[in-house]
C-alpha cells in the first residue's frame, strides 16, 4: 500500500511509514488537544517539504487568524499560498452568514453542499492537490437542519468524493474529554468513525505531559496500539515514545 508521510515528527513510524494513500483519516479530540495544529501541519509540511500541494478547509476560524497563529511554528502559510503550494478555503464566513473576501471561498453568505464540493474540486484541480484537511466536521453539522441523517449524508458525500478522486484527507471532529484508555465517543455525531479509514484520538489529561495520542483504527496498517505523549513545540507537534500499554 502506498503511504503519505504526515510531516508530524514521530507519527509515521507508528503507522508503517505514513497514512494509507487516498484514504480518509478522522482526528478527534476535545478543545485544546491540538487537532487544528495536526491538520495544518499535515498540509503545510506536505506542501513545503514534500512537494505535495494541499488544501486546508476551515469551518471554525477565519483564514487570517490561522495564518497569524501558524507563524509561531515558523510556518509561513501566506507565502506557501502565494507560491501555489497550498490554499485555505474559507467556509467560516458562510457559516457566519458573511461573504468572504478570500480568494477561495463561497460566492454567497450561506453554506451549500454542492457549491462546497464544486469549490473543493476546482481548487484541487487548480493546485493539483494531493492532500486535504477539513477542520472540522463538527462545524459542518451546525449548518444542517434535518438532524443526524442530514449530517450523515453530508459527511458521506465529502468522504466519497475525496476517496473517488484519490485525496488523502484529514477530518477533525470535537469530542468530550475522555481518558485515552477508555474512549467511548470517537466523533461529534458518532458517524464519522464508521466512514473513515483511520481514527486518531487526541487527549488532554493535565499534569507535566498533558497531551496524548492513540491510534484507534488504521485500515490496511499494522499500527501502534499504545498511548503516546504529544508535545506542542515551536516547530509543531512531536509524538513521543509510548507511555502506557493498552
Q: How many other CB atoms are there within 10 angstroms of residue 93's CB atom?
A: 19
Predicted pLDDT at 185: 82
CATH class of 3-244: alpha beta
Between 187 and 217, the more confident residue is 217
Q: What is the DSSP string of 29-73?
A: E-TTSSHHHHHHHHHHHHHHHS---EEEEESSS-HHHHHHHHGGG
pLDDT in tens, 157-208: 888 899 999 999 999 999 888 776 677 888 877 778 888 999 999 999 877 7
Are 204 and 191 contacting, i.e. CB atoms less than 8 angstroms apart? no
Mean pLDDT of all residues in 97-105: 88
Predicted pLDDT at 245: 43
Alpha-helical runs (H) found in the chain:
35-49, 63-70, 77-82, 92-95, 113-127, 137-141, 147-164, 192-195
For the four alpha carbons of 24, 28, 31 and 34, in that order, the dihedral sign comes to: negative
Q: What is the pTM of this model?
A: 0.93
pLDDT at residue 246 greater than cutoff 50: no
Exposed / middle / buried, residue 101 (Cβ in 10 Å: 0-12, 13-18, 19+) = exposed
CA atoms of 138 and 151, how far apart (whole Å): 9
User: Which one, of 42, 211, 17, 230, lies nearest residue 240 by Cα?
Assistant: 230
Predicted pLDDT at 155: 83
In sequence order, the 6+-apart residues with CB closer than 8 A to the CB of 220 are 1, 20, 23, 197
Going from N- to C-terminal start, the domains of the chain cover 3-244
State the DSSP code for 192: H
CA atoms of 63 and 81, how far apart (whole Å): 12
pLDDT at residue 44 greater than cutoff 80: yes
Q: Which cell numbers in the block locate residue 145?
A: 437542519
State the DSSP code for 105: B
pLDDT in tens, 116-156: 899 999 999 999 999 999 998 877 766 555 556 777 788 88
- Residue position matching grid coordinates 474512549: 183
SS3 163: helix
User: Which one, of 53, 237, 16, lies nearest residue 132 by Cα?
Assistant: 53
Amino acid at each position: 500500500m502506498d503511504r503519505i508521510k504526515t510531516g508530524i515528527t514521530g507519527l509515521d513510524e507508528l503507522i508503517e511509514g505514513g497514512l494509507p494513500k487516498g484514504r480518509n483519516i478522522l482526528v478527534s479530540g476535545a478543545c485544546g488537544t491540538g487537532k487544528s495544529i495536526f491538520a495544518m501541519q499535515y498540509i503545510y509540511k506536505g506542501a513545503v517539504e514534500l512537494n505535495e500541494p494541499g488544501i486546508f478547509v476551515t469551518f471554525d476560524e477565519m483564514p487570517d487568524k490561522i495564518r497569524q497563529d501558524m507563524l509561531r511554528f515558523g510556518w509561513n502559510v501566506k507565502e506557501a499560498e502565494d507560491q501555489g503550494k497550498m490554499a485555505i478555503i474559507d467556509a467560516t464566513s458562510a457559516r457566519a452568514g458573511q461573504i468572504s473576501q478570500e480568494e477561495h471561498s463561497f460566492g454567497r453568505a450561506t453554506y451549500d453542499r454542492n457549491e462546497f464540493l464544486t469549490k473543493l474540486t476546482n481548487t484541487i484541480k487548480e493546485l493539483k492537490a494531493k492532500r486535504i484537511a477539513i477542520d472540522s466536521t463538527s462545524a459542518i453539522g451546525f449548518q444542517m437542519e434535518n438532524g443526524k441523517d442530514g449530517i450523515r449524508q453530508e459527511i458521506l458525500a465529502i468522504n466519497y468524493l475525496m476517496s473517488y478522486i484519490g485525496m488523502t484527507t484529514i477530518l477533525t471532529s470535537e469530542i468530550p474529554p475522555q481518558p485515552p484508555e477508555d474512549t467511548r465517543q470517537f466523533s461529534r455525531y458518532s458517524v464519522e468513525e464508521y466512514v473513515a479509514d483511520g481514527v486518531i484520538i487526541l487527549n488532554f489529561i493535565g499534569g507535566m505531559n498533558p497531551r496524548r495520542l492513540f491510534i484507534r483504527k488504521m485500515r490496511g496498517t499494522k499500527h501502534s496500539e499504545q498511548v503516546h505523549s504529544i508535545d506542542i513545540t515551536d516547530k509543531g507537534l512531536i509524538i513521543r515514545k509510548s507511555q502506557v500499554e493498552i
